[in-house]
């Protein structure tokens, strides 16, 4: 069964940093683009970032550009999200997701992890 397992969430003070990881299994990780999507408490889904299958291309929502960095290690089947200069409004459940049809211009997320919770508070 295709699986994604996020880790690395926790409580961090405003201005702090955190690195999230997403371990993939049961599919050829290096063939697919990957994405992070977050959901603030009681709110809807917000796309955060995406990375091409090779890692050579990265994309960010305006709300995190310059503060978050997405990366991947295809040899370890793992996706990362480095989050710096964290703000209270970054508090959310962060999901990693496998992206299908990335280069076709019609991307969508067909597999999601269970999420990891990030809380930014003093």
Partner 1 sequence: SYELTQPPSVSVSPGQTARITCSGDALAKQYAYWYQQKPGQAPLLVIYKDSERPSGIPERFSGSSSGTTVTLTISGVQAEDEADYYCQSADSSGTYGGVVFGGGTKLTVL
Query: What residue has token string 């408490």?
Result: 41
Which of 45/88 has CB closer to partner 1? 45
Residue of 1, 75, 105, 122 that binds partner 1 (CB under 8 A): 105
Residue 1 tokens read as 């069964």
Span from 15-23, 42-50, 71-79, 82-90 in contact with partner 1 (CB under 8 A) = 42-50
Strand 58-60 to 3-7 pairing: unpaired
Is 47 among the residues that bind partner 1 (CB under 8 A)?
A: yes
Residue of 12, 24, 70, 109 that binds partner 1 (CB under 8 A): 109
**Sequence-separated (6 or more) residues with CB below 8 Å from residue 34:** 22, 24, 50, 51, 70, 72, 79, 96, 97, 98, 99
- The residues of the shown chain that bind partner 1, judged by CB under 8 A, are 35, 37, 44-47, 50, 57, 59-62, 95, 100, 102-103, 105-110, 112-115
């Amino acid at each position: 069964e295709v699986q994604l397992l996020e880790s690395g969430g926790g409580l961090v003070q405003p201005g702090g940093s955190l690195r999230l990881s997403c371990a993939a299994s049961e599919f050829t990780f290096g063939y697919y683009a990957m994405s992070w999507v977050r959901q603030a408490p009681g709110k809807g889904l917000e796309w955060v970032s995406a990375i091409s299958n090779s890692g050579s291309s990265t994309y960010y929502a305006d709300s995190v550009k310059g503060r978050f960095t997405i990366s991947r290690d295809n040899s370890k089947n793992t996706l990362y999200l480095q989050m710096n200069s964290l703000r209270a409004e970054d508090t959310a459940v962060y999901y990693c997701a496998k992206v299908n049809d990335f280069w076709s211009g019609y991307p969508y997320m067909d597999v999601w992890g269970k999420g990891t919770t990030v809380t930014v508070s003093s």
